[in-house]
Chain A
Amino acid sequence: MAILSEHEREHMVETLGELEGNVKLTFFTQDFECESCRHSHELLKELADLSDKMSLQVYDFKEDKQAVEKYRIDKIPALAVEGEKDYGIRYFGTPAGYEFTALLEDILDVSRGTVELSQETMEELQGIDRLIHIQVFVTHTCPYCPRAVRTAHKLAQASDWIQADMVSAVEFPHLANKYDVFAVPKVIINEGIEFEGALPERHFVEKVLMALSSRT
């Protein structure tokens, strides 16, 4: 049975009608798929079928070592959302529930190749000179989480130095435990900086810059 209802499909076809450039969804799973891998895979297949400008590339986490390394994948299900290049936008865990909205917005952004951020943020991103890894822990029932995910993904799209991951706390409980995730969204930047809540762009960027200066 299809995951997306007819009504949802109609709405998405309309939304995806705004796509400008091509979008590639690069998905990592394995031969014997875990339940959330299977669910994510099915959802992405249905989504990719809704527009000629979208394609789905599937890799096996165990077999396709080269791709796993290239995309820096360390757990599955994993998804990279690519436009004319790989911006470092990642989803670890099913991009479902409230996060599906974030995925659709990411798709539109990478298709356009531009992202809406303030001039001040764009200038500050220019100063980044080393890799920044942002992890945003979410639950699928959290209405505030997509905003944090989107801010992180926008920063990743705007800077080649940033990789930003959505991480489903329920699907990766060992990571939720490791980072003491008891409230979502919880954001971890380069292991050293952490905060809870969907901060406005300006404050989010301040935290990124703190991670940069703390040299963690």
Chain B
Amino acid sequence: MSKGSHRFALVATALVVLVVALALACLLFGSVDIDARSIFGILTGHDSDNEAWNIIVLRSRLPMIVTAMLAGAALSVSGLLLQTTFNNPLAGPSILGVSTGAGLGVAIVMLAMGGTIGGVFGETLGSYMATLLGALVGAGVVLVILISFASIVKSSTMLLIIGILVSYLASSVISLLNSVASEEGVHSYVAWGFGNFSGVSLEQLPVFSAILVLALVASMLMIKPLNALLLGTRYAQNLGVNTHRTRNVLLLITGVLTAVVTAFCGPIGFVGLVVPHIARLALNTSEHGRLLPVTMLAGAAVALLCALLSVTSRHGIIPINAITPIIGVPIILYIIINRRRINYFN
């Protein structure tokens, strides 16, 4: 076994243990104290006498854990794909405006529905699908804008700035929409914007999970061209990669991952940008065969940690987007300061 695969096995195992531990912690801890024995009883089919506990464990904590794991993995993979596609280690779904684009789509759909739907998702399947579609279209539009600018602007820093500008523009449109929306609509939109892994109900969970798992599996099938793309478009083409088609497929996967998470959980920042770096630093490689699974696991772990922190406060639920920068910013600063010593920048 080579040094690289040894390290991969070590990192992956450690992350699996961490994810399981964090998931257990999310089950055990929350705003309501429930003893561990009751929780495992409820999970194994022995309902507690306390009906509220049954509901909390099965309809709140369990879906939140699954949502956080999948959303974390999805955003992180989305960030990794964007970083490789745009040849830019500081790319990510939130910084490039993909999340905001999805958010704009959601806002438009919410307004079109009169801004009166309860929470982000209405009770009906129709409004639920419409919101999802709005997020997909919004993310798609931003990705198309990014692709067209990427062919004009060669500098990756400039592309980041364009992403930030697009994001501002989408935010301003969202604000304009909110100014004409009903108070209730604005309130639910603002609440959604805080980021929240508890927004997916047990009934919605299968659709949410199925789409994300499919897109994550699709990303695993792109490992070979992703590695070739690290050498740049010209080398990738010379290795037989249809770079045009590959980029479109990668951006489609990115769009789906980001849009679905954004529609259900709100525009969550930093996870997509930071987690691929955590994975690269842990593995000391850019090879996607190892990077992609570790990015998924690390993404799940980071999101579970955020979820845990958000629910264990004695003063109510802390928004996810208040936690992600606290984890993300120091890591990004560390990377920027040390980039000359980090292999994948050189």
Pairing of A with B: no
